[in-house]
């Protein structure tokens, strides 16, 4: 990566960005400018690591830049939108409060005026005076009705704007917890779900089981066929996982080519069987390019399985699942390894390819 420093830094960064716009014929949008600016100034090393291979391979385009922008800046944008919507909602709430106060004040003024009219009516000595008082009273009533009509319309407008903002805020919050590529839960949502599952288990609820899943040899596949095809593979894997897990459970993209499945209330033996079904399901699919029809072969996954062991912290639970996952990868990939107890001395339950044993039998043999 070329990092520009010194007095000509700003001008040099601008020239680098303009060259990229011309060289790759990408649109000079604010999003693309921000992305390239962060790269050439070295602000985001992870972004540069993802962008440099595209620049070197001459395959940068608007779609690639949009994907990178969503990954590295999408969450910040959504958080800003949420903050702005929240601030606007606060302003509307204050407006609503003022209008309610104004309604009360108007009602009090009307009551005071009617009391004055009633007092004058008691003192009046002629029909003409009474007629005048009635006329004044009707004018006061009509004025109040008109004022209340205007106030009612303002309240309706404010409520409508507040409803729109609440909906926008809900969408932004959902987007902030969603992986933009796969549509699955993102790491933030996964972390929250793990904390909630641990709290329930510590309170005597069901014991959750965590599955960590890694797409085998994904880097080589990505380097060979390109990031766009790699993204499609991740989407397919994510859809398969989501469609074959119960709605009460959570499927998340934990990062890169790693996924997580949180089974909220299931026996460890059944969790192993679920992991095996997912492994077989993904491995049975062949990836085919839509444009050319070329078959790229099978994609396989490795899975680490571990139940929560109260009262351990979340970090220990995740670390144990990670150890099980990397045990599966070390032992040849395309298999499930389950670690059933917190200590490393506990036996592993292994299953590999079509020769894997059922989870219950594996657990029974390890217990013996």
Whole-angstrom distance, CA of residue 252 vs CA of residue 236: 13
**Which residue is it, tokens 């005071």?**
112
User: End-to-end distance of the chain based on CA atoms, in angstroms?
Assistant: 56
DSSP type of residue 298: E
SS3 316: helix
Q: What span, in angstroms and rounded, lies between the C-alpha atoms of 297 and 310? A: 42
Q: How far apart are CA 316 and CA 126, in angstroms?
A: 92
**171: phi then psi, degrees, rounded to nearest 5:** -65, -45
* DSSP letters for 54-88: HHHTT---HHHHHHHHHHHTHHHHHHHHHHHHHHH
| 3-state SS, residue 343 | coil
Residue 280 annotated among the catalytic residues of the structure = no
H or E stretch at 296? strand 295-298
Active site residue: 81, 128, 257, 323, which one? 257
Which residues, at least 6 apart from 44, have a Cβ–Cβ distance to it below 8 Å?
Answer: 38, 72
**Alpha helices (runs of H) in the chain, residue ranges in sequence order:** 9-24, 30-40, 45-56, 62-72, 74-123, 127-176, 187-202, 218-225, 227-243, 268-283, 314-330, 359-367
Nearest CA among 346, 343, 350, 345 for reference residue 329 = 350
User: Tell me, what DSSP letter sits at residue 189?
Assistant: H
CA distance linking residue 144 with residue 307, whole number of Å: 67
Q: Which residues are catalytic?
A: 257
């Amino acid at each position: 990566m070329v990092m520009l420093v010194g007095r000509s830094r700003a001008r040099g960064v601008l020239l680098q960005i303009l060259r990229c716009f011309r060289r790759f014929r990408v649109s000079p949008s604010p999003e693309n400018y921000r992305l390239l600016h962060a790269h050439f100034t070295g602000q985001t090393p992870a972004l540069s690591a993802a962008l440099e291979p595209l620049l070197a391979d001459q395959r940068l385009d608007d779609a690639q830049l949009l994907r990178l922008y969503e990954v590295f800046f999408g969450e910040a944008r959504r958080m800003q939108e949420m903050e702005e919507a929240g601030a606007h909602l606060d302003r509307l709430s204050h407006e609503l409060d003022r209008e309610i106060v104004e309604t009360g004040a108007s009602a009090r003024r009307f009551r005071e005026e009617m009391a004055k009219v009633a007092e004058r009516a008691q003192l009046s000595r002629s029909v003409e005076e009474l007629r005048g008082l009635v006329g004044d009273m009707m004018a006061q009533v009509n004025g109040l009705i008109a004022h209340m009509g205007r106030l009612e319309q303002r309240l309706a407008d404010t409520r409508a704007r507040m409803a729109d903002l609440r909906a926008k805020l809900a969408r932004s919050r959902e987007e902030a917890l969603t992986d933009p590529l796969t549509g699955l839960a993102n790491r933030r949502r996964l972390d929250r779900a793990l904390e909630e599952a641990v709290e329930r288990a510590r309170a005597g609820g069901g014991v959750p089981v965590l599955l960590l899943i890694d797409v085998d040899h994904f880097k080589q596949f990505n380097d060979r066929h390109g990031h766009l095809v790699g993204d499609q593979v991740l989407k397919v894997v994510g859809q398969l996982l989501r469609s074959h897990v119960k709605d009460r459970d959570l499927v998340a993209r934990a990062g890169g080519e790693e996924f997580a499945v949180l089974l909220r209330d299931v026996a460890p033996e059944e969790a192993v069987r679920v992991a095996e079904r997912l492994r077989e399901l993904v491995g049975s699919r062949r990836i085919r390019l839509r444009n050319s029809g070329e078959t790229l072969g099978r994609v396989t996954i490795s899975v680490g399985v571990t139940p929560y062991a109260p009262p351990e912290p979340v970090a220990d639970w995740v670390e144990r699942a990670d150890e099980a996952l990397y045990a599966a990868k070390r032992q040849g990939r395309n298999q499930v390894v389950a670690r059933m107890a917190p200590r490393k001395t506990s036996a592993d339950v292994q299953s590999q390819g079509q020769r894997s044993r059922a989870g219950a039998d594996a657990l029974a043999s390890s217990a013996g």
